[in-house]
Chain A
């Protein structure tokens, strides 16, 4: 069965304190792994797509990496506006479905 597990569930950081969020997955034949950001009361917003192990993508203070079993979202010198829930999702080579993890709630304290 396809599974996506995110850790930690919640993370509190001081402004400027770098850290990483983890997304581990078990899926037979990965087509892609996706990161989204979700603000309270809003729909998820797309951040990154990763297709193969070793791939990295960056956007401002965020960098996403992918191995054969997990992905990391590294946050460098976070700011309070980075506070949100970060969601990870996968899609298999076969079929048209996306499977989401339960997310990591990030709070950055000024």
Chain B
């Protein structure tokens, strides 16, 4: 099992550009989520999904979109990048009955 994979590892964007961060898992987990991690702020939930076709907002959803068309994939879209979105982004998945989240290796995003 590859676990949770994320691409790209690093990305630099200019203000106003859009992009998609990819996340995939091969463990057949129902629950998937996106977090951002900033110094002094901890991990903050952006969006999450409890199954294919179902998504919901977390603490900090503004400026981000998600969709979940398959169990395996949960992409995160930045619609119009802003410097405030400079952060490290983590995707996670878990079996809904266990609450044990498996995290990907992260994407470091810089918006200039």
| Segment at the interface with B among A56-64, A66-74, A75-83, A100-108 | A100-108
Residues of B whose CB lies within 8 Å of any CB of A are 4, 31, 33, 35, 40-45, 48, 50, 56, 58-59, 90, 92, 99-106
In the complex, the answer to whether B58 meets A44 with C-beta atoms within 8 Å is no
Interfacial residues of chain A within 32-47, with CB under 8 A of chain B in the complex = 32, 34, 36, 41-46
The A interface, classified by DSSP as helix, strand, loop or mixed, is strand
In the complex, the answer to whether B44 meets A43 with C-beta atoms within 8 Å is no
B31 to chain A minimum Cβ distance, whole angstroms, is 7
The reply to whether the CB of A31 lies closer than 8 angstroms to some CB of chain B is yes
C-alpha spacing A6/B106, complex, angstroms: 23
Given A43-B105, A87-B42, A102-B42, do A96 and B56 touch, yes or no (CB 8 Å)? yes
Residues of A whose CB lies within 8 Å of any CB of B are 4, 31-32, 34, 36, 41-46, 49, 87, 89, 91, 96-103
A24 to chain B minimum Cβ distance, whole angstroms, is 14
In the complex, the answer to whether A97 meets B58 with C-beta atoms within 8 Å is yes
What A residues does B58 contact at CB under 8 A? 97
In the complex, the answer to whether B105 meets A91 with C-beta atoms within 8 Å is no
C-alpha spacing A98/B4, complex, angstroms: 18
In the complex, the answer to whether B59 meets A97 with C-beta atoms within 8 Å is yes
